[in-house]
Structure 1
Amino acid sequence: MASAFESVIKSVVRELDHSGELIPVDSLRSSTSFQPYYLLGRRCSRSWFWKPRYKSINLSIRDILEPDAPEPAVKQSAPIHIYDSMDGELQASGELEAPARGRCAGGAAIFDTFSLSMKVRTLRVDPNIWDAMKQERHLRQPEHKVLQQLRNCGNDVFVVTEVLQTQKEVKVTQTRPRPGPPEPEEDSHHPLRQHPCLPDVLLFPDKTHKKQRTFRLPKEGHQLTSGAGSQSPLSGRFKLESDGFVEDWSAVTGDFRGLQAEVRAQAQVLQGLSKELCERLLAGLVQVLREEPALRTLEDALERGLCCGSVARLDGPVDAVLECLVHTSGELEVHLAGPILYLVEALAVLSESQRELLVEMLETGGLSGQFKLQVGSVLEQSTPWQERRDVSLLQELLGSSWDPEAPAWVLLEECGLGVQVDVPQVCWEPQAQGRTCALYACLALLFGLSQDCC
């Protein structure tokens, strides 16, 4: 079952975003870091089959621009009331308060009960103010060390220009079914005490931004980029430049065979590792997966290490993985670190519930190659991934149970697939592609490592 936070985000996106431009914050823990004028880094994914992710770099535009001046005020919209509830096969959803009103409803075959009521507002940078900033301010020299690190790793930088933010504490009610004899239902209240938000970042109005990058090669100088949702690329003292790197997702005709080939290439590097090294890698990854911050720290460390060839040792569970990948000289074993970073990136795409379940399966020996085949079958049957369709599951791979408590049920549902109750099948949703592909990659590589340990 999806977390309370994910349910909130999905409800807001379903009600307010018909253009597909909103970028949902992936956790309540990080939501307060996404505010207007804050900077986001976008790391290039090592896979063609899930999108790059945006990450807060804990800086605002004030930290990197001269002259030093407070960020200009942002515009605030009128309150928007979001109401969404699901109960059994009934789904009802929301109304918008001034300046516009509306209501929509639909059906969903689910067991869980979910209700949400909250008010949000839009915080938006005035385009005229942004144009003035481009003329009046420029990058600090020497540039901030964080920008230097992002340059070295080839990460792009964006500026948040619009967010949807809750106005006060949000309480979410979820009820889930219990296995066994019928028991009275029990409501679970999840107060969201922080202010979750969904950022919009400065992007370009056409597809050209997919080929452009923040930083040129070092000899070309230091320049920062962004673009605006309805505006042209930034110009003036800080702007986007291209270094010739082509990042055009639309040009890739991705299908399951392509994903298989990509995963197989990573798995081949891991084949032949010693049993001891496999055991140490798996043990370290299990510890990292127990802590979301540790997973992000490991991802950052491996990315920096692959950029500069060495990696600093870190305390805690991250070091247990790094010590498997670093020579006594301190140099990173690049050949092995690449596939591990690919696996870590895929794990980061999954939900927290999926990662917790994978840890449980690894510890109990429940991770099987059969479920990898099941996910692969779903991906193969749902091609092309851009269309909604019903996809049958392979009964012989499901095991003896098919209910909301079954690992297969939970892992597939958390991908964003509509799990069917009466028959073993799912409804494929196009937006489920990234997480389903990442799940397949995780299952293949984790199962490969666990098999090598046997």
Structure 2
Amino acid sequence: MASAFAGVIKNVIRELDRSGGLLPVENLGSSTSFQPYYLLIQKPSSSLFGKPRFACVHLSIKDILEPNAPEPAVERVGPFHFQDTVDGQLQGNVELATPGQGKLGCGATLSGTTSASMNVCTLRVSPNTWIAMQKERHLQKPEHKILQQLRHRGDNVYVVTEVLQTQKEVEVTYTRKREGSGQLALPGALYFQGGGQGHRSCKKTLTIPSGSILAFRVALLVIGSDWEIIFLPDKKQRTFGGGDQMPSSYKILKPFGFFSKCLLQSDAAHTENSLMLAQDFEDLQAEVEAQAEGLCILSPELCQQLLTGLGQVLRDEMTLHHLEELLEQGLCCGRVELQTGPVGDVLECLVQPCRMLEEELVEHFFYLLGALAELNEAQHMELAQMLEARAPLGPCSLVESLLEQSAPWQKPVPVSLPLGSSWGPEAPIWILLEECGLELKANAPHVRWVPEALDQTLALYACLALLSKLSQSQ
């Protein structure tokens, strides 16, 4: 369902924001954290496949200013009505025949639709409002405790200046249907011929409440002797101190050069940069291998506990988001409180007896979480089932072969994969690659590579490689 929701939001943003400044909300459950005037921090990406992500610090601009008065009203633009419908079908077949020994044939058809109708409006803080606030209100003294913590960590702080909000309840409907058929003919004294067919369909509906934030725009908050808002900051400008200050969250990027080159790029620049950085695939493999070795210092028992807990966490997007938040809070505050359920099972693999996190181990685990964050809900469910079956290794080799053959990834190319017997619309690898935006067929060439699938396919490769390494350590 996440893929359908993300696709609809992406289309809405494309129509209403040609400049590319609006950022989609990653998780509908956390959309209330992106209201106008709210403060955010940016979580840098530690990978080529990841984009910078924003997290709420549970403060509004009024919480750090004097006098502590409500924020001025925002401007409302719209409403705009948006209708989005996507309908597609893929079809393939293969036939094997040996003279005098028979014939085997099979075919597959995949179809899917996504539809949504929504009314949205833009809520915007006027530039004149910011000018007036800077004249009339000043930073609290002493500085707010949370700002002190962010200053110590060297994090940039951003302010939400504009949001895209739903005006009415929205239903996103997603349908998918898979059909397969096969025929078998064996010659001989007793001629044998047989056939079969089957299908599988599903329909899901996601309800987006009225007033939900779908996308947001931010500006950099700069704090010196007083405060100001920078709408178009350069790369050297920072919230606290001069341009040479480096946030502590960059520390996890230092050993890993290949993926870290796309750090802090806009969506458009990120896509272009991803293509420019398509270098030697061996660099990517070496980086993922280094991350895997960092994770596999765990004992076989803890590796099994980590995989089992993560498999259960992947079945619920909010639980996955909660796990990431607890780890971030633990790195910031120093301790992680005891948790129950699958989240607790994962955390217990990453903490010392004193409840302090094993920071180096957590940094490698965040790399895995960053890769998982690029995948959608359908892929998370497939990975959860693969972990339960303890069989992630085979699909990893197929994704690796796909990336090797399509490198340097800038142009659409047909790719044939070294397939086993379990290839078809119901195979996990088929679903995982299809959700990356790739067109698959039952006959060779099996995949038509498209550059737009790069980030998600790299993330899929990283996930499968890391999970495979952990499985082998059990």
TM range (shorter): 0.7 to 0.9
In structure 2, the residue matched to 1:348 is 373
Distance 1:54 1:184, change over 3 A: closer
Partner of 2:253: none
What is the CA deviation profile of residues 100-139 of structure 1, one whole-angstrom value per residue up to 9, with x for unaligned ones? xxxxxxxxx9721222222221111111111222232233
RMSD between aligned residues: 3.6
Give yes or no for the alignment of 1:372 onto 2:396: yes
For residues 279 and 225 of structure 1, what CA distance do their matches in structure 2 show? 50
Counterparts of residues 11-410 of structure 1 (less than 5 Å): 11-88=11-88, 111-179=111-179, 188-203=204-219, 227-228=230-231, 241-245=242-246, 249=262, 253=277, 255=279, 256-271=281-296, 273-306=298-331, 310-368=335-393, 370-385=394-409, 387-396=410-419, 399-403=421-425, 405-410=426-431
Aligned-partner residue type, residue 144 of structure 1: H
Gaps of 5+ in 2: 91-108, 181-196, 251-260, 266-272
- Aligned partner of 1:435 in structure 2 is 456
Paired amino acid for 1:428: V
Once the two structures are superposed, residues 1-40 of structure 1 have per-residue CA deviations (whole angstroms, 9 ceiling, x without a partner) of 7544223213313433433322111222122332211222
Secondary structure (helix, strand or coil) at the match of 2:285 reads: helix
Judged with a 3 Å threshold, the aligned counterparts in structure 2 of structure 1 residues 269 and 2 are, in CA distance, closer, same or farther, namely: closer
In structure 2, relative to structure 1, the CA distance for the partners of 1:186 and 1:134 (3 Å cut) is same
Distance 1:133 1:445, change over 3 A: same
Residues 269-291 of structure 1: per-residue CA shift (max 9 Å, x gap): 23454221211221222233233
Normalized per residue, the structure richer in strand is 2
Deviation at 1:146, TM superposition (A): 3.5
What SS does the aligned partner of 1:396 have? coil
Distance in 2 between residues matched to 1:361 and 1:292, nearest whole Å: 17
The question of whether the paired residues in 2 share the 8 Å contact of 1:85 and 1:115 is answered with yes
Aligned length: 414
Structure 1 pair 371–326 and aligned structure 2 pair: CA distance change class (3 A): same
Give how far 1:361 is off. Answer: 0.7
Shift of 1:168: 0.5
Among candidates 444, 449, 452, match of residue 465 of structure 2: 444
Cα 1:310/1:9, change in 2 over 3 Å: same
1:95 alignment partner in structure 2? none
Cα separation, partners in 2 of 1:372 and 1:200, compared to 1, 3 Å: same
Cα contact 1:214–1:242 (8 A) shared by 2: no
Partners of 1:178 and 1:416 lie apart in 2 by 17
TM-aligned CA distance change 1:382 to 1:51, over 3 Å: farther
2: CA distance between counterparts of 1:373 and 1:311?
Answer: 36
Q: Deviations over 1:429-452 (max 9, x none)?
A: 43x433322222211111111111
Q: Is the 8 A contact 2:21 2:217 kept in 1?
A: no
Cα distance in 1 for residues equivalent to 2:210 and 2:402: 37
- Conserved? CA contact 2:177–2:199, under 8 Å: no
Instruction: Pick which of 310-319 and 334-343 moved more.
Output: 310-319
Q: 1:132–1:328: structure 2 CA closer, same or farther, 3 Å change rule?
A: same
Counterpart CA distance in 2 for 1:118 and 1:193 is 11
| 1:401 partner amino acid | W
Aligned-pair CA distance for 1:241: 4.3
Cα distance, 1:177–1:227 mapped onto 2, change above 3 Å? same
Identity level (%): 48
Question: Is the CA contact 1:49–1:254 (under 8 Å) kept in the aligned structure 2?
Answer: no
Structure 1 residue ranges (4+ consecutive) displaced by more than 6 angstroms after TM superposition: 182-187, 221-225
How far apart are 1:65 and its partner, in Å? Answer: 2.0
TM-score, reference length from structure 1: 0.78
Q: Distance in 2 between matches of 1:12 and 1:25?
A: 12
Q: Following the alignment from structure 1 to structure 2, what is the Cα–Cα distance between the partners of residues 272 and 174?
A: 42
CA 142–350 in structure 1, closer or farther in 2 if over 3 Å, else same: farther
Aligned partners of 1:115 and 1:173 also within 8 Å: yes
Unaligned stretches of 5+ residues in structure 1: 91-108, 205-212, 216-220
Q: 1:153 to 1:416 in 2, by over 3 A?
A: farther
CA distance in structure 1 between the aligned counterparts of 2:449 and 2:284, rounded to whole angstroms: 20
Q: With a CA cutoff of 8 Å and minimum separation of 6, indicate the structure with the bigger relative contact order.
A: 2
**CA distance in 1: counterparts of 2:372 and 2:310, whole angstroms:** 10
